[in-house]
Structure 1
Amino acid sequence: MKQNFWRMTVLAIGALMASSTLTQAQQNCAARETVIERLASAYGETRQSIGLAQNNTMVEVFASTNTGTWTIAITNAAGLTCLVASGQAFERLAETLPTPAEDA
Structure 2
Amino acid sequence: MKRNFWTMSVLATGALLASASLAQAQQNCAPRALVIERLASSYGETRQSIGLAQNNTMVEVFASTDTGSWTITVTNAAGLTCLVASGQAFERLAESLPTPAEDA
| Residue of structure 2 equivalent to 1:90 | 90
Post-superposition Cα deviations, 1:40-66, rounded to whole Å, max 9, x if no partner, equal 000000000001111000000000000
User: Is 2:29 aligned against 1:29?
Assistant: yes
| Residue of structure 2 equivalent to 1:79 | 79
Which piece of structure 1 moves more, 48-57 or 26-35? 26-35
TM-superposed CA distance for 1:97, in Å, is 1.3
Length, aligned pairs only: 80
Instruction: State TM-score, norm by structure 2.
Output: 0.71
Q: Indicate the structure with greater helix content.
A: 1
Tell which structure's C-alpha radius of gyration is larger.
2
Percentage of pairs with the same residue: 88
Give the aligned residue type for 1:77.
Answer: A
Write the distance in 2 (CA, Å) between the matches of 1:35 and 1:24.
Answer: 17
Write the distance in 1 (CA, Å) between the matches of 2:80 and 2:26.
Answer: 9
1:1-104 alignment, distance < 5 Å: 24=24, 27-101=27-101
Instruction: State TM-score, norm by structure 1.
Output: 0.71
Tell me which stretches of 4 or more aligned residues in structure 1 moved more than 4 Å.
Answer: 23-27
Two-structure CA RMSD over aligned residues (Å): 1.8
What are structure 1's unaligned runs of at least 5 residues?
1-22
TM-superposed CA distance for 1:24, in Å, is 4.3
What are structure 2's unaligned runs of at least 5 residues?
1-22
Give the aligned residue type for 1:32.
Answer: R
Write the distance in 2 (CA, Å) between the matches of 1:59 and 1:24.
Answer: 20
